[in-house]
Amino acid sequence: MKENDLLLEKSIYRLFEITPVPIALSFPSGKLEYVNPALKRMLGYEGDEIYANKVTITHLDDIHVNEAIRKELTLHPFVPIQVEKRYKHKLGHTISVQLNIVAQADNDNLIKRYIAQLIDLTTIKKSDAAEILLNHLVNKSNDAIYVVEPEYGQILNCNLLAHQRLGYSKDELLKLSVSDLNSKFDIEGKWKEHCKRIKLAGNIVIESTHTRKDGTKLPIEASISFIEYNLKCYLLAIVRDISRRKKKEIAALELANLDPLTKLPNRRTLEIKLEKLFKKSKLKNTLIGFFFIDLDHFKLINDSHGHSVGDEILVGTANRLKHCIRESDIVTRMGGDEFLVVISGVEDRSSIKIMADKLQEEFNSPFKVQKHLIPVKASIGVSVYLNNNGDAHTLIQLADEAMYEAKKKLGTSIYYI
């Protein structure tokens, strides 16, 4: 070997010694000629022990790969081969590598040695496996998950459920910001204030609504965390659909505040609403009309047609009375076949009479129930609040007494007190 060639080869060996990339040189027979320190570290060997005849660094199940490589390099010695294979660590565990190998020829163009570079795939495979596991868990989550840029609220990433639940493709959703899902953040300063609160707390849980692609609203509960990753800040939101819970809450509220049959406000709700009406009436010096309504001979209807028919008549009565009033007025079921209508903001008594007549007219036509036309009449008692002439309880009682007076007087369906 020429002196220059020797110097070059020594230089190459010195380079092999310091490179962090595992390098191996082997003879055409497959026996190791040289292994650099990086490869020894990767396989757990020290000194020259790796060269011992009893040491086999290739995984036994991959010995056939070595044979195939040598055969291919014999046929095409100067065509590099890249293949994935397994090696055995000194302690016994398996290390997956990407093997890049090429033949080196001598002066007679015969294979002198094989030069191999090994890339440890173990860490890469573990990283890939972790990412696969994470993606699987995220996409199988029962909650929507979002990664959001905190400066402007741009949605950076989301799981499958997040975009499917809102009716978007993932590409469509990633073009949106949080304000597209929740319009309250369109208000200037709201988003920055929101982010500041999350950053200070680290994590917050809020209830809100998201707007789907079709414009419908979805009630949600979001657990939002402020996180830092690679010196950048992000918001991580885990968002739960609380539609069922909201329906149960509404049902519980209705149960507490509405008559279960007619769905009219019950006495508890009536008291709250009357308190507001009285304050408004005193402030504006207007009248409040109380109309106590009782269905005539309702027991006879129940006895003749059955309670299911009676219940439908009560529901029908509630609907007719609601048809007569404004949104600011009140209609409630007092119990049994008794109802109360309260109108506010009335300027004079003539308006009270007009409303009483209007309510009475609702009973001029029969109720159609289960293919039957059933005539139902009602007696109405009226009392009026003016200039602090009584409280709500007294005025309801007076209207109730007036209703009984209407029942006593033949041919009279409305009585004023």
Tokens of 97: 């590598």
The Cα–Cα gap between 87 and 65 comes to 11
List phi, psi (to 5°) of 215: 95, -10
- pLDDT > 90? residue 212: yes
Closest by CA position to 416, among listed 366, 347, 362, 360: 360
Give the distance between the most distant pair of CA atoms in the chain: 137
- pLDDT > 90? residue 172: yes
Over the stretch 346-395, which tens digit does the pLDDT of each residue have?
Answer: 888 888 899 999 999 999 999 998 888 999 999 999 999 887 777 888 88
Over the stretch 91-145, which tens digit does the pLDDT of each residue have?
Answer: 989 888 999 998 888 778 888 888 999 998 877 776 666 666 667 777 778 899 9
- Residue 146: strand pairing partners: 158, 237
Kindly report the CATH class assigned to 141-245: alpha beta
Q: Which amino acid is at 194?
A: H
- pLDDT > 70? residue 254: no
Distance of alpha carbon 276 from the chain centroid: 37
- pLDDT > 60? residue 1: no
What residue ranges do the domains of the chain occupy?
A: 3-125, 141-245, 259-416
Contact 90, 43 (CB under 8 A): yes
Supply the CATH classification number for the domain 3-125: 3.30.450.20
- pLDDT > 60? residue 3: no
H/E stretch holding 143 reads: none
Three-class SS of residue 67? helix
Same fold, 141-245 and 259-416: no
Three-class SS of residue 398? helix
Three-class SS of residue 368? strand
- pLDDT > 90? residue 318: yes
Average pLDDT over residues 386-412: 82
Pairing of strands 338-346, 330-335: antiparallel
CA distances 378 to 94, 164, 329, 361, 412, Å, are 91, 54, 20, 10, 10
Q: Over the range 356-372, which residues count as b (16 or more CB within 10 Å of their CB) and which as e?
A: beebbebbeeebebeee
Q: Looking at residue 289, what is its pLDDT?
A: 92
The Cα–Cα gap between 301 and 294 comes to 14
The Cα–Cα gap between 18 and 26 comes to 19
Q: Looking at residue 291, what is its pLDDT?
A: 95
Contact 213, 181 (CB under 8 A): no
List phi, psi (to 5°) of 413: -110, -15
User: Would you say domain 259-416 falls under CATH 3.30.70.270?
Assistant: yes
Over the stretch 20-60, which tens digit does the pLDDT of each residue have?
Answer: 889 999 988 888 999 999 999 999 999 999 999 899 999 99
Tokens of 378: 């009602």
Q: Looking at residue 82, what is its pLDDT?
A: 93
pTM: 0.46
Radius of gyration of the CA atoms of the chain, in A: 43
